[in-house]
């Protein structure tokens, strides 16, 4: 008598998340390769010109926001239909999309904060100064955990906003084939991306006077910014879930 041990089935959400991650892996790798090459070339040019105090990496914050944001828009507008056509549920798609957005955001934050640390070390070895040109929770750039937290909350909110923008465009326009729906989605765009600019504004103002006055008896400035950013991330994620779960998926034409 033989006994066959069956391999445990992979949960649909995990399977979907793996597929989405594989889809994003190549463009993300290209993004970081191009960014690293640009940093090396620009640093060399500035060094030859005698400009040795600038942090070139810090200028990549905006690229690190909007490129993954666009990838998340692509996921929400494209893969919801693919997943439903493959027999999966909206709930599965929502869970996979949220998981992938968070993983990508954290991975990008780790890479960005680590690259900043490496740049600072290289400047030190060369006898150069190093000044962080970007508004940050820690303007000195001396704390890797703080930099990770800084970029982490920014990228998480940005990726979730990308999912929200994508699903709103799909729900109002693509799924119904309605140009009027596309215009409505465009009209709602400022609200969908507003959390990104709010987080950037909070980070920029963390060393100013108003965070201290606003939260003197609640949390320290950095803690208040992180708490507000996470609250916005939760709200954006919940809105994405609500819209995605109620979105009618267009059937392929026969």
Confidence (pTM) = 0.86
**Tens of pLDDT, residue by residue, the chain (254 residues):** 444 444 444 577 788 888 899 989 999 999 999 999 999 999 999 999 988 888 999 989 999 999 999 999 999 988 888 877 777 788 888 999 999 999 999 999 999 999 999 999 999 999 998 888 777 787 777 788 989 999 999 999 999 999 999 999 888 875 556 677 778 888 889 999 999 999 998 888 765 544 444 444 445 577 888 899 999 999 999 999 999 888 776 554 44
- C-alpha dihedral sign at 220, 221, 226, 228: positive
Query: Domain for residue 2, yes or no?
Result: no
Rounded Cα distance between 65 and 112, Å, is 11
Q: How many CB atoms within 10 Å of residue 171? A: 22
Structural domain for 203, as ranges: 12-246
Q: What are the angstrom distances between the C-alpha of 243 and each of 16, 172, 184, 187, 223?
A: 19, 10, 14, 16, 30
Rounded Cα distance between 192 and 236, Å, is 8
Query: Domain for residue 1, yes or no?
Result: no
Query: Domain for residue 254, yes or no?
Result: no
Rounded Cα distance between 254 and 239, Å, is 33
Query: Domain for residue 6, yes or no?
Result: no
Domain count, the chain: 1
């Amino acid at each position: 008598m033989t006994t066959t041990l069956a391999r445990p089935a992979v949960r649909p959400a995990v399977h979907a998340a793996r597929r989405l991650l594989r889809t994003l892996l190549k463009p993300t790798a290209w993004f970081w390769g191009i960014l690293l090459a640009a940093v090396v070339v620009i640093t060399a040019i500035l060094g030859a010109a005698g400009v040795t105090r600038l942090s070139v990496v810090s200028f990549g914050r905006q690229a690190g926001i909007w490129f993954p944001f666009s990838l998340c828009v692509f996921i929400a507008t494209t893969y919801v239909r693919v997943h439903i056509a493959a027999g999966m549920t909206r709930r599965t798609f929502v869970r996979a999309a949220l998981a992938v957005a968070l993983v990508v955001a954290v991975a990008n934050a780790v890479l960005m904060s680590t690259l900043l640390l490496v740049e600072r070390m290289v400047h030190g070895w060369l006898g150069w100064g190093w000044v962080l040109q970007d508004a940050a929770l820690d303007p000195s750039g001396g704390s890797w955990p703080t930099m990770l937290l800084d970029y982490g909350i920014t990228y998480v909110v940005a990726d979730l906003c990308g999912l929200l923008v994508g699903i709103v465009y799909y729900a109002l326009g693509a799924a119904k084939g309605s140009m009027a729906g596309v215009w409505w989605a465009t009209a709602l765009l400022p609200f969908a991306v507003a959390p990104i600019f709010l987080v950037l504004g909070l980070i920029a103002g963390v060393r100013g006077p108003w965070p201290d006055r606003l939260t003197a008896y609640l949390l320290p400035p950095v803690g208040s910014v992180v708490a507000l950013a996470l609250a916005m991330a939760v709200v954006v994620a919940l809105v994405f879930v609500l819209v995605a779960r109620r979105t009618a998926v267009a059937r392929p034409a026969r």
